[in-house]
Chains A and B, each alone.
Chain A
Amino acid sequence: MTDIEEEVDFEVDPEDLGDAPALQVDSDRLSLLVNDLHVSYRVFGAKKVGHGPARDWGLLDRLVRRGAKQPAIREVKAVRGITFAANHGEAIGIIGVNGSGKSTLLRAIAGLIPPVSGTVHVAGNPALLGVNAVLMKNLSGARNIMIGALALGLSRNEVKERFDDIVEFAEIGEFVNLPMKSYSSGMGARLRFAISASAVPDILMIDEALSTGDAGFRAKSKAKMDEIRESAGTVFLVSHSLATIQSMCTRVLWIHEGKLVMDGEPREVCGSYKQFVADRKRHAASQK
Chain B
Amino acid sequence: MADNHLEQIGVRPPLGAYFREMWRYRPLVQTMAIAKAESDNQNTYLGQVWALISPTINALVYVLIFGFLLKVGREGIDNTIAFIVVGVFMFRFFERSVMAGAHSLQKNMNLVRSVQFPRAVLPTAGVLAELTVLGPALVVMCVIAYFSGFLPIAGRVTIDWYWLLLPVAVLLTWVFSTGCAFISARLVAQTPDIDNLLPHVIRILMYASGVIFSVDRFVSQFSWGWLMEYQPVAVYLYLVRSSILNETAYPPDAFMWLLGVIWAVLFSVVGFLFFWAGEERYGRD
Contact = CB atoms under 8 A, between A and B. Distances in A.
Contacts of A108: 10
B203 interface: no
Contacts of B280: 114
B197 interface: no
B207 interface: no
B285 A42 contact: yes
B20 interface: no
Nearest to B40: A138
Given A139-B35, A150-B27, A134 B114 contact: yes
A135 B35 CA distance: 13
A131 B42 CA distance: 27
B188 to A, nearest CB: 13
B36 to A, nearest CB: 9
A71 interface: no
B117 A151 contact: yes
Interface string A168-195: 0000000000000000000000000000
Interface stretch (A15-23, A120-128, A235-243): A120-128
Nearest to A154: B27
Contact of A126 (B9, B42, B111, B281): B9
B1 A112 contact: no
Majority-rule SS of B interface residues: mixed
Given A121-B1, A129-B114, A136-B110, A113 B31 contact: no
Contact of B116 (A110, A119, A131, A156): A110
Contacts of B132: none
A139 B192 CA distance: 26
Interface in A24-47: 29-30, 32-33, 41-42, 44
B114 A132 contact: yes
Interface string B244-285: 000000000000000000000000000000000000110111
A133 interface: yes
Interface stretch (A94-102, A141-149, A250-258): A141-149
A139 B39 contact: yes
A264 interface: no
Given A33-B1, A121-B8, A148 B115 contact: yes
Contacts of A107: 113, 283
A112 B116 contact: yes
B116 A126 contact: yes
B11 interface: yes
A208 to B, nearest CB: 13
A42 B9 CA distance: 21
Interface string A220-247: 0000000000000000000000000000
A246 B113 CA distance: 27
Given A108-B10, A114-B11, A134-B115, A124 B5 contact: yes
Contacts of A147: 28, 31-32, 35, 111
Contact of A123 (B4, B42, B116, B121): B4
Contacts of A81: none
B114 A133 contact: yes
A153 interface: yes
Minimum-distance CB pairs A-B, first 10: A111-B9, A121-B6, A150-B28, A133-B110, A30-B4, A130-B114, A151-B115, A114-B280, A134-B114, A112-B283
Interface of A: 29-30, 32-33, 41-42, 44, 107-108, 110-115, 119-124, 126-136, 138-139, 143, 146-148, 150-153, 155-156
Interface of B: 1, 4-11, 24-25, 27-28, 31-32, 35, 39, 42, 108, 110-117, 121, 192, 280-281, 283-285
